[in-house]
Amino acid sequence: MKDVDTPDRIARCIDILERVYGVPGPARSGPVDLLVTTILSQNTTSANTHRSFAQLKKAYPDYESLLEAPDYEVADHIREGGLANIKAGRIKAALEKIKKDTGSIDLAFLKDMEVSEARDYLISLPGVGPKTASVVLLFSFGMSLMPVDTHVNRLSRRLGFVPQKVSIEEAQHRLEEMTPREKYCSLHVNLIRHGRAVCKARSPHCDECVLREICLHPSLSAQKG
C-alpha cells in the first residue's frame, strides 16, 4: 500500500482495536500522579508500575512528605519496579523543581499554556522526556499529543504507519498528523493493549492478529504475496 493510504489504514486500525478492546475512558489521575506513575513505568511492566505507585501513596500521604523522605527509603518502596534508586531520584528531583518553580507541587497551571509551552516545561523536569510529557498532557488536560512508548513505536512501524528508520520524535509527529485528534487517546492505549497481548516484541502472534488485513509486517507481506 502507498503512503497516501496510511491515514485510512490508521482509521481502520482504530475502529478494529476499539471493537476488540473498547474505547478508552479519560484518565482518572491528576497530572502529578500521572507524572510519577509514568516515571515509575520506565523499563517495567504495568503490574509492577501500579504496585509501586500504590506503595508510594500508602507510604506518603502527600508529595511533601515524599520529598522529606531520604532517597533510599523512597527507593525501597518501589524496588520491585526495577531501577529503584534512579527512579526515586528522578521523582524527587522533578517534584522539587515543580515546587521551586510554582511554590507548590501542582501542575494545574499547565492547562492554561499552549501545548508546545506546556510540553517544554515538562521536558525541563529531571527524568522527563517527550513520551512522559505527552502522556501527562494528553491524559490530564486533553492536549493534542500522541505519546510514543515502546509498544506504540513497535506497532506503528510494523503496521507501516511510519518508516522503520525515523526517530521516535518524527514517528510521533507523523502519527499526530495522520490520526484524528479525538482518537489520539484511543490509538495510543489500544496499540499498547494489542502490543502486550498479540503483537509482542518477540514472536508476535501474527496468525491470530485482528490487524492482519492492514499490516505491512514482512512476515505477513510474504504470506499475502
Q: How many helices (H) and strands (E) does the chain have?
A: 12, 0
pLDDT of residue 219: 63
Give the contacts of 208 (CB within 8 A, at least 6 positions apart): 198
The residue that leads in pLDDT, 71 or 43, is 71
pLDDT value at 12 more than 50: yes
Q: Which residues contact 178 (CB under 8 A, 6 or more apart)?
A: 6, 7, 10, 161
Residue 25, pLDDT score: 82
94 closest CA partner among 46, 40, 134: 40
Residue recorded with cell 485510512: 8
Amino acid 144: pLDDT:
93
pLDDT of residue 217: 83
114's CB contacts (< 8 A; 6+ apart) are none
Radius of gyration from C-alpha coordinates of the chain: 19
pLDDT single digits (tens) 186-217: 999 999 999 999 999 999 999 999 999 999 98
Residue 14's pLDDT band (cuts 50, 70, 90): very high
Q: What is the CATH number of domain 31-141?
A: 1.10.340.30
Label residue 29 by pLDDT band (50, 70, 90). Answer: confident
Under the banding of pLDDT at 50, 70 and 90, the label for residue 147 is very high
pTM of the model: 0.89
The whole-number pLDDT of residue 1 equals 39
Class of domain 3-24+147-224: mainly alpha
Residue boundaries of the structural domains of the chain: 3-24+147-224, 31-141
Res. 225: pLDDT tops 90: no
Q: Tell me the pLDDT band of 218, cut-offs 50, 70 and 90.
A: low
CA distance 29 to 49: 14
Confidence (pLDDT) at 4: 53
Percentages (nearest 5) of helix, strand, coil residues in the chain: 70, 0, 30
**Could you write out the DSSP letters of every residue in 39-92?**
HHTTTS-HHHHHHHHHHHHHH-SSHHHHHHS-HHHHHHHTGGGS-HHHHHHHHH
CA gap 55, 75 in Å, rounded: 11
Query: Is residue 222 over pLDDT 50?
Result: no
Alpha-carbon span 31 to 139, nearest angstrom: 8
Residue 221 has pLDDT above 50, yes or no: no
**CA–CA distance, 54 with 33 (Å, rounded to integer):** 11
In whole numbers, what is the pLDDT of the chain averaged over residues? 92
**Taking CA 63 as the corner, what is the angle to CA 48 and CA 52, rounded to the nearest 5 degrees?**
10
Distance from the Cα of residue 170 to its chain's centroid: 16
